[in-house]
Amino acid sequence: MKKEDIVDYNRKAWNKYVDEKISWSIPVDHNTIEKARKGNWNIILTPTKPVPKAWMGDVKGKRILCLASGGGQQGPILAAAGANVTVFDNSPKQLKQDELVAKNENLRIKTVLGDMRKLSCFEDEFFELIIHPVSNCFVPELEPVWNESYRVLKYGGYLLSGFSKPELYLFTDEDIEKGNLIVKNKLPYCTLEETKGDMESYSKTGRAVEYSHTLEYQIGGQIKAGFSITGFYEDVFEDDLLSKYFPTFIATKAKK
């Protein structure tokens, strides 16, 4: 399957995820926005651990790109905290969540639909901060994500990224649900391999296509693009079998 077809397929899959109300698609509530307006806020890049405030600095007046970050979560909080926020996402329904919060809470948020690897709609060095939660597992290659992020970020600005560790993909979802940690997949892995690349069969699962990008492409890719990694932490899912044995997510702070 062509890479562009994967992006289109995942757009539809994420629209469906929004209808199913998965955790990454549930907008923040009024109380969260009110607290953010008063300076009491935090955001996440990974499932549970808040981003250290020292990573963010003062966001008031900053031009921030929430990259592949729709869902009505990070963007509205940062806007309520005083930032000039642009939310960029591949799913129209995810963006509608941000638009809904913006309308209800009288926030100024710009939403843009598109592929995270293609940021040509933005000028060079336009943003002062990029927030990129766990999402790049839904595109087949990372180099354009890091290169474009570097291009649109001001010198001295930061890219804050969350991503899944490749070890997550050693096991099948079916085995994990049964409590069986049996290594079956070879890394790097694409979930399309479950149906030997048959998209029609895979579509019946109702899941987005995911890629287990290596740490060489996740961390090394940022460095190759020109970034310096200045912060790092690990995280887990709550009540997740794999997370009982090892950290399953990573967050990085990268400076241009």
CATH number, domain 3-165+213-255, options 3.90.280.10, 3.40.50.150, 2.60.40.420, 3.40.50.300: 3.40.50.150
**What is the structure's pLDDT at 162?**
98
Q: Do 242 and 170 contact (CB within 8 A), yes or no?
A: no
Cα distance between the two ends of the chain: 34
Q: Per 3-state DSSP, what percentage of the chain is helix, strand, and coil (rounded to 5)?
A: 40, 20, 40
CA distance 248 to 234: 7
Cβ neighbors of 13 (< 8 A, separation 6 or more) are 206, 207, 208, 209
Domain ranges of the chain: 3-165+213-255
**What is the structure's pLDDT at 29?**
98
Query: Could you read off the pLDDT tens digit of each residue along the chain, which spans 256 residues?
Result: 565 589 999 999 999 999 999 999 999 999 999 999 999 999 999 999 999 999 999 999 999 999 999 999 999 999 999 999 999 999 999 999 999 999 999 999 999 999 999 999 999 999 999 999 999 999 999 999 999 999 999 999 999 999 999 999 999 988 998 999 999 999 999 999 999 988 889 999 999 999 999 999 999 999 999 999 999 999 999 888 999 999 999 999 999 9
Within 10 angstroms of residue 220's Cβ, the number of other Cβ atoms is 14
For 230, list phi and psi in degrees, rounded to 5.
-120, 0
**What is the structure's pLDDT at 238?**
85
**What is the structure's pLDDT at 4?**
58
CA distance 176 to 160: 29
